């Protein structure tokens, strides 16, 4: 006797359970990441202004270097999830190991570049003469942890592809606690100053990488997957990551252009912009959690050959993205009077930020759709289209943003340009998902 197909309502409930099970722990792990920098800043800040300024420059360089390689998580999630859907856990973990080996190789290359060029990079970022020595010290020591940071990205992708976002949450919490304790102990207890903060972060990151490797190696032994590096597999992982690297670099360029334009508007505008950008990033974490669920779920459906299941999951996640965007937008509107005084008492900065925050609030439903569809196409392994779409978005955004000072626009106009950027992304992603060309079933794309 064949089983009756699930009703639309039952199917929606199933998708909801899957999304919640993956997205909630993913959000917790995402929020834990910026807390590392916040803890370092709080501890180093008590050493002095020059030390804190040095940390700020070095952290910006490190975060830029690591964020460029976020494709290690995205591409690995999609590839592993496909093989999970196809029922081949051995191949799934083998694919994950290829991503981890690629992370180690890229990490070693970055360290080889950063160590000798640290003084030049610090100078390039405009560190003052008093802050530069501290920035160089922190950067050189922390660079030693970059391979571990990249392994964490790749291993996180492996576990997400295996439909496990709880383990990354637990590892992130443990890493945060260890980082805080090590920083306090080494900075003040061992009297190592800013070097102690850097060593504490390196040790915490290495511990997180080790924890992930234990989990992945156990899975490899359980399913008979080889742990040895495979040149063809590593090369395939790198090729899958190149389009996502282009996408990430284009997005970073958009954020840098927006900041540069805001800086030209005046001190109050750039101060308000930094406050809004920090809020925008926090909102992005919430929406990105749904996107991560999308990567894992869509990859699994396509790997199982279930094209209709992938379409249905995509539709439901878009509904989640819109609903989350509406809720976040309303929260921004309601919290504006409480949020701004947390960052500044300057009335000029607050007055500049208030109307721009309204634009951010209005744009959140658009952002919700963009993040979800981004995750869906990543889960489908549709990296080349994502790269092309982001380059087009950059081409549209750049002249509009650069015109803001010329036409006398203020910070609100900058964030209107950012909303236009998200609208262009939504259009390009919607056209792709509507076409159905992203739906390629099977264990590999």
What pLDDT is recorded for position 46? 83
Does residue 197 contact residue 36 with C-beta atoms inside 8 Å?
no
Pair of tokens at residue 177 = 């606690």
For 269-299, b/e burial (b = at least 16 CB within 10 A) is: bbbbbbbbbebbeebbbbbbbbbbbbbbbbb
Does residue 219 contact residue 225 with C-beta atoms inside 8 Å?
yes
Cα–Cα distance list, 20 to 166, 294, 304, 308 (Å)? 12, 11, 21, 21
Task: Say if residue 226's pLDDT is above 70.
Answer: yes
In angstroms, the CA 154 to CA 246 distance is 18
Q: Which of 30-44, 274-288, 385-399 has the highest mean pLDDT?
A: 385-399
Q: Band of the pLDDT at 2, cuts 50, 70, 90?
A: very low
Does residue 283 contact residue 332 with C-beta atoms inside 8 Å?
yes
What pLDDT is recorded for position 44? 87
Task: Say if residue 267's pLDDT is above 50.
Answer: yes
Task: Say if residue 111's pLDDT is above 90.
Answer: yes
Predicted confidence (pLDDT) per residue in 43-96, tens digit? 888 888 889 888 888 887 888 888 889 999 999 999 999 999 999 999 999 999
Q: Could you tell me which of 209, 123, 225 has the C-alpha nearest to residue 171?
A: 209
In angstroms, the CA 129 to CA 123 distance is 9
Predicted confidence (pLDDT) per residue in 18-51, tens digit? 999 999 999 888 877 777 777 887 888 888 888 9
In angstroms, the CA 358 to CA 340 distance is 13
Does residue 92 contact residue 159 with C-beta atoms inside 8 Å?
no
Task: Say if residue 5's pLDDT is above 60.
Answer: no
In angstroms, the CA 201 to CA 186 distance is 10
Q: What is the mean pLDDT of residues 415-433?
A: 97
Q: Could you tell me which of 403, 377, 212, 252 has the C-alpha nearest to residue 302?
A: 377
Instruction: Classify 376 as helix, strand or coil.
Output: helix
User: Which is more confident, 425 or 8?
Assistant: 425
Q: Which of 176-180, 258-262, 276-280 has the highest mean pLDDT?
A: 176-180
In angstroms, the CA 114 to CA 139 distance is 8
What is the residue whose two structure tokens read 């919640």?
A: 20
What pLDDT is recorded for position 420? 97
What pLDDT is recorded for position 7? 64
Task: Say if residue 303's pLDDT is above 60.
Answer: yes
Phi/psi of residue 17, each to 5°? -60, -45
Which ranges constitute the DSSP H helices of 144-266? 146-161, 166-184, 194-223, 231-265
What is the residue whose two structure tokens read 């383990």?
A: 167
Q: Give the burial class of 352: count Cβ atoms within 10 A of its Cβ; 0-12 exposed, 13-18 middle, 19 or more buried.
A: buried
In angstroms, the CA 434 to CA 35 distance is 38
Q: Could you tell me which of 149, 138, 208 has the C-alpha nearest to residue 176?
A: 208
Structure-derived torsion over alpha carbons of residues 45, 130, 204, 95, reported in degrees to the nearest 10: 130
In angstroms, the CA 409 to CA 352 distance is 12
Residues 6+ apart with CB under 8 A from 267: none
Task: Say if residue 4's pLDDT is above 70.
Answer: no
Task: Say if residue 370's pLDDT is above 80.
Answer: yes
Q: What is the mean pLDDT of residues 224-236?
A: 93
Q: What is the mean pLDDT of residues 318-335?
A: 94
In angstroms, the CA 281 to CA 162 distance is 27
Total number of residues shown for the chain: 445
Pair of tokens at residue 275 = 């406050």
What pLDDT is recorded for position 133? 94
Q: Band of the pLDDT at 6, cuts 50, 70, 90?
A: low
What is the residue whose two structure tokens read 């965007």?
A: 325
Q: What DSSP character marks residue 187?
A: I
Q: What DSSP character marks residue 185?
A: I
Averaged confidence pLDDT in the chain: 91
In angstroms, the CA 327 to CA 324 distance is 5
Task: Say if residue 140's pLDDT is above 80.
Answer: yes
Task: Say if residue 353's pLDDT is above 80.
Answer: yes
Helices 267-303 and 8-45: angle between axes, nearest 10 degrees: 140
Q: Could you tell me which of 144, 207, 143 has the C-alpha nearest to residue 171?
A: 207
Instruction: Classify 255 as helix, strand or coil.
Output: helix
Query: Taking CA 180 as the corner, what is the angle to CA 174 and CA 185, rounded to the nearest 5 degrees?
Result: 125
User: Element (H or E) spanning 230, and its range?
Assistant: none
DSSP per-residue codes, 115-139: HHHHHHHHHHTT--TTTHHHHHHHH
User: Which is more confident, 196 or 337?
Assistant: 196
């Amino acid at each position: 006797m064949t089983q009756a197909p699930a009703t639309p309502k039952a199917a929606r409930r199933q998708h909801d359970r899957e999304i919640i099970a993956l997205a909630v722990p993913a959000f917790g792990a995402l929020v834990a990441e910026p807390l590392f920098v916040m803890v370092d800043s709080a501890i180093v800040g008590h050493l002095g202004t020059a030390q804190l300024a040095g940390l700020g420059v070095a952290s910006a360089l490190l975060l830029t270097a690591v964020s460029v390689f976020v494709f290690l998580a995205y591409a690995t999630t999609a590839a592993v999830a496909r093989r999970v859907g196809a029922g081949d856990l051995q191949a799934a973990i083998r694919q994950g190991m290829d991503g981890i080996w690629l992370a180690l190789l890229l990490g070693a290359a970055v360290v080889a570049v950063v160590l000798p060029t640290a003084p030049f990079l610090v100078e390039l970022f405009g560190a003052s003469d008093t802050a530069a020595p501290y920035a160089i010290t922190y950067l050189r020591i922390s660079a030693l942890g970059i391979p571990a940071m990249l392994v964490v990205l790749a291993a996180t992708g492996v576990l997400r592809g295996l439909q496990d976002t709880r383990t990354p949450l637990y590892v992130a919490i443990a890493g945060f606690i260890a980082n805080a304790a090590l920083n306090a102990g080494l900075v003040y207890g061992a009297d190592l100053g800013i070097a102690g903060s850097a060593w504490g972060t390196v040790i915490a990151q290495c511990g997180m990488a080790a924890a992930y490797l234990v989990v992945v190696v156990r899975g490899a032994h359980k399913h008979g997957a080889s742990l040895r590096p495979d040149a063809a597999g590593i090369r395939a992982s790198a090729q899958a990551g190149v389009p996502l690297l282009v996408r990430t670099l284009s997005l970073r360029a958009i954020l840098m252009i927006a900041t540069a334009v805001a800086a030209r508007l005046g001190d109050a505008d750039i101060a308000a912009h930094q406050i809004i950008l920090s809020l925008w990033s926090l909102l992005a974490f919430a929406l990105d959690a749904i996107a991560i669920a999308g990567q894992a779920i869509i990859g699994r459906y396509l790997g199982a050959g279930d094209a209709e299941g992938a379409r249905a999951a995509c539709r439901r996640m878009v509904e989640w993205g819109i609903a989350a965007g509406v809720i976040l937008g309303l929260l921004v509107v309601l919290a504006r009077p409480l949020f701004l005084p947390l960052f500044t008492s300057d009335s000029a900065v607050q007055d500049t930020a208030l109307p721009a925050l309204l634009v951010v609030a209005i744009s959140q439903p658009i952002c919700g759709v963009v993040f979800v569809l981004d995750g869906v196409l990543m889960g489908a392994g549709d990296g080349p289209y994502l790269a092309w779409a982001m380059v087009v978005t950059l081409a549209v955004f750049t002249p509009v943003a650069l015109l803001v000072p010329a036409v006398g626009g203020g910070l609100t106009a900058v964030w209107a340009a950012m909303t236009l950027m998200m609208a262009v992304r939504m259009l390009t992603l919607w056209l792709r998902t509507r076409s159905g060309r992203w739906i390629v079933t099977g264990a590999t794309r």
